[in-house]
Amino acid sequence: MTKGSAPRDSDWWKSAVVYQIYPRSFADSDGDGIGDLRGIIGRLDHLAELGVDVLWLSPIYPSPQIDNGYDVADYQAIDPLFGTLDDFDELVAQAHARGLKIVLDIVVNHTSDQHPWFLESRSGPASPKRDWYWWRPPAATTGGPPTNWGSYFGGSAWQLDPASGEYYLHLFAPEQPDLNWENPQVRSAVHAMMRWWLARGVDGFRLDVINLIAKDPALPDGVIDPRTGFANGEPHYANGPRIHEYLAEMRREVFQGNDSGRILIGEMLSVGVADAARYTDPGRGELDMVFQFEHVVLDHGSHKFDRIPVELPRLKASLNHWQEHLGPRGWNTLYLSNHDQPRPVSRFGNDRAFRVESATAIATTLHLMRGTPFVYQGEELGMANPPLTELGDLRDIESINYARQALTAGEDPETVWHAIRTGSRDNARSPMQWDASAHAGFTTGVPWFPVNPDHDRVNADRQRRDADSVFAHYRRLIELRHRNPVVVRGDFTSLYPEHPALFAYRRSWGGETLTVIANWSDRPVPIPADLRQRDQSLVLANDGTDEAAETLGPWAVRVFAGSIAGNPDRV
């Protein structure tokens, strides 16, 4: 075992692993086909056994569910779909009793159009809350929307309110109007709400699209994309003029100097590594870590559903770049998977011939980098994308809007369905596979989204009893982070960055090294001679225990521990 000190309490999250729960698809306790809080409580032992430290819950607040809860109608209550505040309190208590922290998803770039703040704001230009949202008259030049921006879910980012003749801004669905953070009352209402959750016992927050809150109030037009007829307005609202001020103020006002054991995680579209280094510099008092998108948009061509192949060296170049350039003070999130992304084993691995091998190789490659790993529910089982073949299979607003629009426009159905199968957010949202029974143990009723038919083979029940399962491998991986400070603190050096099949790197700290060598391909690959040092010991592998093996089988991964002292010419 490697020598070294445990991370300090003030940055406990560097040695932690976060598990994301998408409550609607996790576990249903009451048979209505939708997951709920009591379902989560009933499955906490699975999470404790896995060994994760923090649970992040996607939104559980009252919501019209236009965007599965990312349209919040009341920030300080629980949607009856998911349970009650009493259930929530019990969940927090039961999680804490198992040493699991709870992080809530805070969606404050926008509210639901059913939130009382928006209902009040919409009542007319004289409303005291009119300025809480972005209302503007029609453009003088066109009489149409005030800017040419498109929304992320298709169409204009502006919606006309016939009663007042003004438009309001919605970067996502029309039912998700954007809050105006220029207004100090908006900011203090959000801070008060977050303090209320802290007082209820939560340990931190994941902040949805938080770098979009500081719009340039001039709202300038963008450059029109001829394909959609709308502009990408991001240059005028992502990482906007007052973003650092808002984030520092939020941390100050919400944590009030008591950061201990707490965490703020920001989700950020269009964020570069230099921006992220600033957002996560502890000296600036903003965020502890950010989700960036660079590596998960490499397979987007001109837009998200224009799917292009990604050669391994490109993926490595992106991940390595973040590893190498976030600086000594910045901190990464490590993720390939969440409720918006296709399943990694289907996207990057081989979910047919090498499901277990590729799920474990990919996880190992990701987890042993510098940063905090995030496991999205079912990833620890190697869950694959569900079959999506017709409009009726889709549930997600973004996918439905895209597929309808593309098919109506006469695009080739095969291309459209390929795009859905490889890019849709619905890929992540099929129910958690607990066992081999009718609805995978997710519900006794009719699931809101059909379970993947492969649940007879791929399920938690089976994997918990199998030492060679994806689940067992995740347990070993998480345990390795917990006990080995090189994983937490080590420098990162990429190895063979141009190699078409090997993903390899070395971490080093305090004279100790960890070398990760993974075969990200369906064919055997020889291990380069310089990576086969005899004085290293194998600490983790998904292909047996033969330390002297000279070849990596398809999707095999090996992690070696060594010391720089034993190899003075190596760093």
Minimum distance of ligand TEU from residue 385's CB (angstroms) = 15
Minimum distance of ligand TEU from residue 112's CB (angstroms) = 11
Minimum distance of ligand TEU from residue 338's CB (angstroms) = 7
Cα angle at 213 between 208 and 215, to 5 degrees?
A: 150
User: Which one among 13, 26, 152, 181 touches ligand TEU, defined by CB under 6 A?
Assistant: 152
For residue 539, give the 3-state DSSP assignment.
strand
From the candidates 36, 87, 105, 267, give the one annotated as an active-site residue.
267
From the candidates 36, 208, 396, 426, give the one annotated as an active-site residue.
208
User: Which one among 28, 36, 67, 357 touches ligand TEU, defined by CB under 6 A?
Assistant: 67
Question: Any idea how long the chain is?
Answer: 571
Q: Are the C-beta atoms of 147 and 219 separated by less than 8 Å?
A: yes
Residue 152 or 434 with smaller CB distance to ligand TEU: 152
Residue 75 or 471 with smaller CB distance to ligand TEU: 75
User: Which one among 79, 203, 208, 288 touches ligand TEU, defined by CB under 6 A?
Assistant: 208
Minimum distance of ligand TEU from residue 159's CB (angstroms) = 16
Token representation of residue 359: 């799920």
Residues 6+ apart with CB under 8 A from 92: 102, 200, 201, 202
136 interacts with ligand TEU by CB under 6 A: no
The site map against ligand TEU for 34-63 (x = CB under 6 A) is ------------------------------
User: Which one among 107, 440, 460, 495 touches ligand TEU, defined by CB under 6 A?
Assistant: 107
Residue 54 or 458 with smaller CB distance to ligand TEU: 54
Residue 41 or 57 with smaller CB distance to ligand TEU: 57
For residue 365, give the 3-state DSSP assignment.
helix
Closest CA to 361 of 546, 531, 513, 542: 542
Residue 152 or 279 with smaller CB distance to ligand TEU: 152
Reported for 509-513, long-range contacts at CB under 8 A and 24+ positions apart, including other chains, are: 509/4, 509/485, 510/2, 510/3, 510/4, 510/485, 510/486, 511/563, 511/564, 511/565, 512/2, 512/3, 512/4, 512/486, 512/561, 512/562, 512/563, 512/564, 513/486, 513/561, 513/562, 513/563, 513/564, 513/570
Q: Which of residues 284-323 bind ligand TEU (CB under 6 A)?
A: 304
Residue 340 or 543 with smaller CB distance to ligand TEU: 340
Torsion sign (Cα): 204, 205, 211, 217: negative
Whether 267 sits among the annotated catalytic residues: the reply is yes
Q: For ligand TEU, how many residues bind (rule: CB under 6 A)? A: 14
Minimum distance of ligand TEU from residue 182's CB (angstroms) = 20
Distance in angstroms (rounded) separating the CA atoms of residues 509 and 96: 32
Distance in angstroms (rounded) separating the CA atoms of residues 135 and 137: 7
The site map against ligand TEU for 407-426 (x = CB under 6 A) is ------------------x-
Q: Which of residues 512-541 bind ligand TEU (CB under 6 A)?
A: none
Minimum distance of ligand TEU from residue 58's CB (angstroms) = 8
Q: Are the C-beta atoms of 485 and 2 separated by less than 8 Å?
A: yes
Longest CA pairwise span in the chain (Å) = 77
Minimum distance of ligand TEU from residue 65's CB (angstroms) = 12
Edge-first strand listing for the sheet containing 135-136: 135-136, 166-169, 158-161
Distance in angstroms (rounded) separating the CA atoms of residues 522 and 353: 9
Residue 297 or 571 with smaller CB distance to ligand TEU: 297
Q: Which of residues 342-401 bind ligand TEU (CB under 6 A)?
A: 398
Distance in angstroms (rounded) separating the CA atoms of residues 242 and 264: 18
Q: Which of residues 172-191 bind ligand TEU (CB under 6 A)?
A: 172
Q: Which of residues 234-273 bind ligand TEU (CB under 6 A)?
A: 267, 269
Q: Which of residues 209-228 bind ligand TEU (CB under 6 A)?
A: 209
Q: How far is CA 490 from CA 108, 151, 223, 361, in A?
A: 35, 41, 43, 20
| Four-CA torsion 48, 50, 52, 58, nearest 10 degrees | -90
Identify the DSSP state of 171: S
For residue 512, give the 3-state DSSP assignment.
strand
Minimum distance of ligand TEU from residue 235's CB (angstroms) = 16
Closest CA to 475 of 463, 485, 489: 463
Residue 154 or 553 with smaller CB distance to ligand TEU: 154
Minimum distance of ligand TEU from residue 466's CB (angstroms) = 32
Amino acid at 69: G
Minimum distance of ligand TEU from residue 484's CB (angstroms) = 31
Residue 172 or 505 with smaller CB distance to ligand TEU: 172
Distance in angstroms (rounded) separating the CA atoms of residues 382 and 460: 10
Minimum distance of ligand TEU from residue 152's CB (angstroms) = 5
Whether 208 sits among the annotated catalytic residues: the reply is yes
Residue 294 phi/psi, 5-degree rounding, is: -50, -45
340 interacts with ligand TEU by CB under 6 A: yes
Task: List residues binding ligand TEU (CB under 6 A).
Answer: 67, 70, 107, 152, 172, 208-209, 267, 269, 304, 339-340, 398, 425
User: Which of the residues are catalytic?
Assistant: 208, 267
